[in-house]
Structure 1
Amino acid sequence: MTTPPELNTLLIEVEGDLATLTLNRPDAFNAMSPELIGELMTATAWLADEARIRALIITGAGAAFCAGGDINWFRKGMEDPEIDISANVRRGAESLHTAIVDLRRIEVPVIGAINGPAAGAGFSLALACDIRIAADNAFFAPAYGRIGASPDGGMTYFLPRVIGPAKALELLLEDPNLPAADALAMGLVTEVVPADDLMTHARERATKLGQMSPHYVKMAKRLVGVSLDNSITEHLQLERHGIADSMATEDAQNGVVAFFGGEKPEFHGR
């Protein structure tokens, strides 16, 4: 057990085995400045290696989830002839991608509690979560096309996997502000709840998911994550190894005993 890092633009809170990561630049609609992106790398690396956590919620402070990249930073880089904007953006993208990869390395359920606009890289961050629950006043926007920029942050990787390639491309080309209700209809989010109830509902959902066997959750995430990249033969081999290894765990033994005893099992990740 280690102490969460102290950060300026993010807040990590751990209550028991539930962690909450809050993007904390509310005055800037939680836009991704270079500092926030750097701290996101620190936060996701810490969360990925913290064994006590059984579920993670990601949300934003204030009225937005995340407005995407900090447009003021882009503008400053474009107006200053001493700044190589392409090199700067490339470095920022590399840092953001490192954070996204670490986020996907987290072996517990990751719930995105989308409390407001999720645009550009903020939309990408939401897509990187395992489950998305949206407030009824939230919306999603690809946004990159509005400034003539190429999609980033994993958007073109995750979006086709969530809603299918054809719908993903349509959404990217039309670039709407997609209301939460429409996002629910296309399967982009799993639930839409009143804004005032969002965090309570997300914590309830996270607590329930955190009671699952850690080994089961880890393998379910891992197997689904690579399912579209494998042949059926390769994938069934992974499943075979997974179930064989899992049945030798203490959690599986407890689960079988509880099943025959008509009781709810307790899983400890052993």
Structure 2
Amino acid sequence: MTEPAPAIHLSVDDGIATLLLDRPDVRNAIDDAMRAQMIAALERVAADDAIRALVISGRGSAFCAGGDIRGMRARLDAPADQVAVNGWKRQQNTHRAVSLLHAMGKPTIAAVNGAAAGLGCDIALCCDVIIAAEPAHFTMSFLQRGLIPDGGGMYFLPRRVGLARAKDLVFSGRRVGAAEALAIGMVERVAPLEDLLPQAQAWARDLSTGSAPALAFAKATLDRSLESSFEQVMAIGSQSQAICYTTAEHRAAVTAFLDKGARK
């Protein structure tokens, strides 16, 4: 059997991984092969302690145009009694990819270089922070295909822009440019297109200079904070802090601080 063409390009430089969605001829639309390759790349990043942060972007003019329409046609052409189970299997892989990005114990940055539509918008939203190129735009285009957001957008979007605005964007499927996305809190930064990846990679370095274990604990706690009570967050924090006390990073930081004070 012929191996599918590489649809994901992963590189690592000085501890910063850059994952490029690499089907520019179809605006980086995601098919089953690309989804599997993305999962494998994200698992590699998550397992490699030498990688401190991840930047995800798209090759060509788009970030990601969403799910591959040709794959949708093939799904509809399947026997009626297989449509639901095939869709369920595909959903499991989509959720695996999104979960790997969301739960990764290191910073994730979406560098949105162009259109982020449908599932592409979901993928950007599930990253910790988003930097958009000036020409970029976002659209929750699912309802226009008779579908609902299925890649985490209905969870992440209200947490970024509020419930009513999220309903506006999902119900209408309207296009949101980079400037509006910044104004409503959908993204954190906007950059010139030619400087997008360098700025994203520099930001990744800034976000990952501290203790890797402490950062992972902080991220995991913050990600649960909106669904947790004050007491629950404090309890999670107490357990995480107790572990941080035992790490080499904490010991080295305290020793370096005290040694610096002693030399003054």
Taking structure 1 as the reference length, what is the TM-score of the superposition? 0.89
Q: In 2, Cα distance between the equivalents of 1:163 and 1:259?
A: 40
Deviates more, 1:21-30 or 1:149-158: 149-158
Partner of residue 192, structure 2: 194
Q: In 2, Cα distance between the equivalents of 1:136 and 1:94?
A: 33
Partner of residue 222, structure 1: 220
Q: In 1, Cα distance between the equivalents of 2:224 and 2:103?
A: 12
Q: CA RMSD in A?
A: 2.0
8 Å contact 1:44–1:103 — kept in the other structure? yes
Q: In 1, Cα distance between the equivalents of 2:132 and 2:259?
A: 38
Structure 2 counterparts to residues 173-212 of structure 1, below 5 A: 173-212=171-210
How many pairs were matched up? 258
Structure 2, unpaired ranges of 5+: none
Selected match of 1:237 from 211, 235, 238 = 235
Structure 2 counterparts to residues 63-212 of structure 1, below 5 A: 63-79=61-77, 81=79, 84-212=82-210
User: SS where residue 65 of structure 1 aligns?
Assistant: strand
Q: In 1, Cα distance between the equivalents of 2:256 and 2:169?
A: 46
User: SS where residue 241 of structure 2 aligns?
Assistant: helix
8 Å contact 1:77–1:83 — kept in the other structure? no
Deviates more, 1:60-69 or 1:80-89: 80-89
Q: Percent sequence identity over matched residues?
A: 35
Displacement over 6 Å in runs of 4+: none
User: SS where residue 229 of structure 1 aligns?
Assistant: coil
Q: In 2, Cα distance between the equivalents of 1:244 and 1:74?
A: 49
Q: In 2, Cα distance between the equivalents of 1:262 and 1:179?
A: 48
Structure 1, unpaired ranges of 5+: 1-5, 264-270
Does residue 20 (structure 1) correspond to residue 51 (structure 2)? The answer is no
Aligned-pair distance for 1:91?
1.6
Q: In 2, Cα distance between the equivalents of 1:141 and 1:36?
A: 21
Taking structure 2 as the reference length, what is the TM-score of the superposition? 0.91
